[in-house]
Structure 1
Amino acid sequence: MIVREPAVAGSFYFEDPIELADSVKHCIGEFVDAGVHARALIVPHAGYMYSGGVAGAAYRLLANCAQNFNRVVLLGPCHRMALRGLAVASYDAFATPLGEISVDVNACQDLLDKGLVQSSNEAHQHEHSLEVQLPFLQACLRKFTLIPIVVGSCMPDEVYKVINALNVEGTLFLISTDMSHFHTYQQANAIDNFNIVRMLNFDTDLSGEDACGSNVLNGFFKFCDHAKWKIRMVKYENSGDTAGDKDKVVGYASFILY
């Protein structure tokens, strides 16, 4: 069995399993009935000290529907290499300090057979945008398989087709993205609030300046609009709120879709 080992344990989150479990629990807080059954979440992917509270505010809303999910489709941007299109990997499992998560290898192979994705272990090996979500999922869901997809430069239709192919009962979609990067605190608030409105309207022309996961979001929002899903913002903060430095901040927002 080929296992993708953690790449950012000890930097983005605790390497010690007890400390990690405690920090995830702290980020999530008390589980809350969202009043709706989630179909998807949009969450940030920075170190937990920066964005863990924003992510946790969305994860806690899985309280009334966690039992509905037996697999998670996790999509996030590629930070470590130039990638054209979408990529799965040949790993059988992804590991965190909390244990291993089995990959739905049959679903990944089906995407490959249909020509919707490529296979690239290199794109996944050091990518944090997917990895930082895994301990949250392990805390919120009991037993599930994972379809991890790294997204590079692509058109919205490419992401749309992948999501459409995977949209079956029992699937939670998880979109990993941060918002604006390295503006002042005041500028970031203005930019991010403007783009949050665009996201709530399912705009499909977001750029990398708006959100690092813009390629994922544009295709995902095209699907959401077609499927008549609804969206609600859960929480917004930036690193100036969570880490103190307000000169160059990164924005974080989380959303629930239902």
Structure 2
Amino acid sequence: MRQPAVAGQFYPLSPKNLKKEISRCFQGIEITPRDVIGAVVPHAGYIYSGQVAASVYATLPKADTYIFFGPNHTGYGSPVAMSQDTWKMPFGDIETDRDIGKLLAGTIIDMDEIAHRFEHSIEVQIPFLQHRFGNDFNILPICMGMQDEETAVEVGQEVARAAKESGKKVVFIASSDMSHYVSAEHADRVDHYLIDAVLDMDVPEFYRRRAEENISACGYGPISAMLSAAKEYGAKSTELVKYANSGDVSGDPMVVGYAGIIVE
């Protein structure tokens, strides 16, 4: 069983305090489920990025499985690693989708739990889903240490193929923060420059802009994998639901940017 790595750090460990904090994140946000196929959500501490995340989770439809693409911050494990363990969380255990997992055997995606053991980028997303849907869903966590364009596109296409073969209703979620530790003005400019390529669903341009401006978005591979998977599902429209930065809360001059994006 995969144990929580950042409960008590990025979000509260006790279910009571977690419920209170998640409710704060959703405060003033209307729950309006839409035909969302894919999304980009941040993964910082809830105090900083929770409201941006909640703005996206408020739009998600009920699905059988939520497929997560997250960056590997720790360096442990396989370059592209899928978890098939049960995930223990403060709100209760969540099962991984072993049917889709089996359909990914032999692809670029390895079954590897080590990459997930200490990684926070996917873990912090799960309580938002539990707040919306209880524990009546599966997850498929995919952690990407290798994030080049070719790998990301292949991961997205393989996952979309396996999900289609399974016959299940899925939503693809990319976990990523945007610029790291730059001025709010700089973050706002370069993040929106990068976000515009996401909104155009243009993966090559997304990589070009990231390199051109040296933008430190940590989950650029996961975002591209999500876009590639969503395209396989016929995604046609995109929307930036909310943008914010850590300075909005902390008041610090150096900030991390957060974008909440949905793809339909």
Asked if these proteins are the same fold (TM beyond 0.5), I'd say: yes
Question: Is it true that 1:255 corresponds to 2:254 in the alignment?
Answer: no
Question: Is it true that 1:148 corresponds to 2:147 in the alignment?
Answer: no
Tell me the number of residue pairs that the alignment of Structure 1 and Structure 2 aligns.
248
Correspondence list, 1:1-258, <5 A: 3-29=1-27, 30-33=29-32, 36-62=34-60, 65-66=61-62, 69-81=63-75, 85-91=79-85, 93-112=86-105, 114-142=106-134, 143-154=136-147, 155-165=151-161, 166-167=163-164, 168-205=167-204, 206=207, 207=210, 209-225=215-231, 227-246=234-253, 248-258=254-264
**CA–CA distance in 1 between the matches of 2:171 and 2:156?**
15
Cα shift at 1:225: 4.1
Contact 1:178–1:211 (CA<8 Å) still a contact in 2? yes
**CA–CA distance in 2 between the matches of 1:58 and 1:77?**
19
Q: Superposition RMSD on alpha carbons, in Å?
A: 1.9
**CA–CA distance in 1 between the matches of 2:245 and 2:68?**
23
AA aligned to 1:50 is Y
Contact 2:191–2:215 (CA<8 Å) still a contact in 1? no
AA aligned to 1:256 is I
Cα shift at 1:210: 4.6
214-223 or 6-15, larger mean C-alpha shift = 214-223
AA aligned to 2:137 is F
Residue aligned with 1:94, SS:
coil
Cα shift at 1:55: 0.4
Contact 1:5–1:94 (CA<8 Å) still a contact in 2? yes
**CA–CA distance in 2 between the matches of 1:182 and 1:77?**
18
Residue aligned with 1:252, SS:
strand
**CA–CA distance in 1 between the matches of 2:20 and 2:35?**
26
**CA–CA distance in 1 between the matches of 2:100 and 2:152?**
21
**CA–CA distance in 1 between the matches of 2:100 and 2:228?**
22
Residue aligned with 1:237, SS:
strand
Cα shift at 1:39: 1.7
Q: What's the % identity of the aligned pairs?
A: 32
Contact 2:184–2:255 (CA<8 Å) still a contact in 1? yes
**CA–CA distance in 2 between the matches of 1:185 and 1:119?**
39
Per the normalisation by structure 2, the TM-score is 0.87
Structure 2: stretches of 5+ with no match in the other structure: none
Residue aligned with 1:14, SS:
coil
**CA–CA distance in 2 between the matches of 1:123 and 1:135?**
20
Deviations 1:223-258 (CA, angstroms, capped at 9, x unpaired): 444524321110000111122112x21100001111
Residue aligned with 2:122, SS:
helix
AA aligned to 1:234 is V
Per the normalisation by structure 1, the TM-score is 0.89
Residue aligned with 1:153, SS:
coil
Contact 1:83–1:153 (CA<8 Å) still a contact in 2? no
Residue aligned with 1:212, SS:
coil
Structure 1 residue runs of 4+, over 4 Å off?
none
Contact 2:84–2:97 (CA<8 Å) still a contact in 1? no
AA aligned to 1:164 is A
**CA–CA distance in 2 between the matches of 1:54 and 1:72?**
18
Residue aligned with 1:202, SS:
coil
Deviations 1:75-121 (CA, angstroms, capped at 9, x unpaired): 11100016664211341x11111110011123213212x32311221
Contact 2:43–2:175 (CA<8 Å) still a contact in 1? yes
